[in-house]
Amino acid sequence: MNDLVVYGTPVSPFVRKVEAVLHTQGVPYDFEMINIMDMPDWFIEISPARRIPVLRDRTVGEEGVADTIADSSAICVYLDRKFDAGLYGKDAFESGRIAWLEEYADTELALPLGMRLFRPILFPRFSGQDSDLETARKTYQEELPRHFDYLEQTLDGNEFFVGDTFSLADIAVGVQMTQLDLVAGTVDDSRWPSLARHTQAMKAHPGFVDNLSACGKMLGRLVPEKVDLNGQKAVRDK
């Protein structure tokens, strides 16, 4: 039994964000799956917003609400402080930029990507129905490009989003972009070359590899092929 417990499902990009911090720091933890469609009462008690993930630190307590932290951003701040991870920049300005990009990824990017692309592709398949590709393609073609443009401009050809060091900004954007990759591949590298390179780097990063492997196994049956949202299909990566 480890000191830390993460409650959630690996397919959530917000769970992936927390797991990336833990793996980056080499911190062992326990994982407990939560059915987001039918959350148990005990989980709702520790996650009043009914969201995943939640973290429990057994060094603080082993049951109830007092030893838990809900929300991925709050958890990441806690883990950064607890393990002196240095994922929030070298100075005050970098910290502010990182916090902003995390917020942008968690809201402006995550909402259309998750609710109007990932879910329409994946969720109908749980009940044996076809994906809602019309909604997913419209989101990809009409709504997401402005977000990709902003991220491409922000990277400006650099390896990392803020400064010259891997940070929570890279994790926060990376977990959303790898969410897209799970069902539809990466962005067009001729239009968004820096963002495409960044996504590929995050896929190979030690903080991401185990989570993405678990996601691939979970989704492989439901989404055996990645959908080309320009209208064609591409075979899932081997």
Please state the domain extents for the chain.
4-83, 92-235
Q: Is the pLDDT of residue 233 over 60?
A: no
Amino acid at residue number 80: D
Phi, psi of 165 (to 5 degrees): -135, 140
The reply to whether 92-235 shares the fold of 4-83 is: no
- Would strands 68-70 and 225-227 be described as parallel, antiparallel, or unpaired? unpaired
Name residue 31's beta-bridge partners: 6
Query: How far is it, in rounded angstroms, from Cα 189 to Cα 172?
Result: 20
CATH number for the domain whose boundaries are 92-235: 1.20.1050.10
Torsion of Cα atoms, 19 then 20 then 24 then 27, to 10°: -10
Query: How far is it, in rounded angstroms, from Cα 102 to Cα 110?
Result: 11
Residue 202 · residue 177 · CB < 8 Å: yes
Q: Who contacts 147 (Cβ-Cβ below 8 Å, separation ≥6)? A: 108, 109, 112
Q: Is the pLDDT of residue 73 over 90?
A: yes
Q: What is the pLDDT of residue 224?
A: 86
Q: Who contacts 171 (Cβ-Cβ below 8 Å, separation ≥6)? A: 17, 20, 21, 24, 76, 87, 202, 207
Amino acid at residue number 143: E
Query: How far is it, in rounded angstroms, from Cα 223 to Cα 114?
Result: 16
Q: What is the pLDDT of residue 231?
A: 62
pLDDT tens column, 78-128:
999 999 999 999 999 999 999 999 999 999 999 999 999 999 999 999 889
Q: Is the pLDDT of residue 235 over 50?
A: no
pTM of the model: 0.94
What is the third-level CATH fold of 4-83?
Answer: Glutaredoxin (3.40.30)
pLDDT tens column, 32-68:
999 998 999 999 999 999 999 999 999 998 888 999 9
User: What's the chain's Rg over C-alpha atoms?
Assistant: 18
